[in-house]
Structure 1
């Protein structure tokens, strides 16, 4: 939250020069930080942000979800646990058997509400009183949209598309071992089988579980 807030504050005051490559790197940085907000809210849904303190855990989850385009934690929570109980079935709100675009539209309908759009529109007009329009679009709006695609592609579409091997009780795939790419692409949630197998692990321990399972398979 601190990284997202401080970086956004600095970028909203930055002199935009569309010819500078730094602008586009800054957009990617904000996209990564937006994704981090949602991953924090996701971990709160599993009770691992503040273990032993349910109120603090829920508070952090609510704040981080809200900062990401006004997502409502109370709405996300039951849907996410429904996803874990009914992975890749008709009862899974995250799953769709169609192609990428149909799947994304189905995903968006599940999670994007009219209230979110209205709140984003209102905040957009309010921010124009203090910050340049191009800064608001580049560093507040665009990264949130890109992060939504990032989360969907790496955290839902890739892990759950297609058929899975018999015996794969989580109906989930996993990225090949590459911890740098796994972190940059989606905070290790490309290691998705590992997450479904041990949902009580925070995002920053998933790479350890990936290594453990690989060593275990090598011994077999």
Structure 2
């Protein structure tokens, strides 16, 4: 019997645990706008928020728990839900539609326009009114127990910034402009720099490589970069 590969589960669990642990710590942390640590923590929590969505994305490709679809879906559902109450069953078909019809009128992630109109079109595809309602309820509950500035800086702001990170590096940069007919994935890619590729968006700047090998989880995507 082949040994199961549990690395995806471990890495997904690590991302979720780090996001949660840092959030709990920061909600009670004494904020000082004069301290560079405040801004460093905002950026770190933003990166972990992005990691939640990347984890849910990997689950959409079945690579968090290969061969265990129920567990894979469960992890993806939890990761998506923690990121501003995204609903995994709603995201799943839209993401596969993006892969099937990349950079066409049938691609929900694509928009023929400049950055800001494209960004707001992207948000409209993925944000629902019930998400906004749940976020508003959670915000009002959290501020009953934690300082308002902590809730804004470490729970709300990183979620917003992470949408920019995901959109800019994972959608806008790789799919903007014209692509040559011989480019079947209509995607560009970052220059090879694994450290920057990880920091910027968990290697998803290597976007041609992701479309070419969607079976690679984010933590192995760098191997596809020539």
- Separation (CA, whole Å) in 1 of partners of 2:187 and 2:219: 19
Alignment TM-score, normalising by the size of structure 1:
0.95
Q: CA deviation at 1:77?
A: 0.2
Aligned positions of 1:96-175 closer than 5 A: 96-175=111-190
Offset of residue 166 of structure 1: 2.6
Which residue, out of 202, 206, 226, partners 1:187? 202
- TM-score normalised by L of structure 2: 0.93
Please list the CA deviations of residues 171-219 of structure 1 after superposition, one character each: whole Å capped at 9, or x if unmatched: 0000000101000000000000000001010001111110xxx2xxxxx
Q: Residues of 2 paired with 1:92 and 1:13: CA distance?
A: 42
Q: Does 1:47 align with 2:71?
A: no
Q: Alignment partner for residue 4 of structure 1, among 12, 16, 19?
A: 19
Distance 2:95 2:31 in 1: 38
Q: Over aligned residue pairs, what C-alpha RMSD do you find?
A: 0.5
How far has the Cα of 1:128 moved from its partner? Answer: 1.3
Distance 2:67 2:222 in 1: 24
- What is the aligned length? 211
Give a deviation string over 1:27-83, Cα, whole Å, max 9, x none. 000000000000000000000001111111000000000000000001100000000
Q: Secondary structure at the match of 1:51?
A: coil
Q: What is the Cα deviation at residue 7 of structure 1?
A: 0.5
Unmatched 5+ stretches in structure 1: 215-220
- 1:97-139 per-residue CA deviation (whole Å, 9 max, x = no partner) reads 1111111111111001100100000000011121111000000
Residue from 32, 49, 74 that aligns with 1:59: 74
Distance (Å, rounded) in 1 between the aligned partners of 2:186 and 2:122: 18
- Specify the alignment match of 2:95 in structure 1: 80
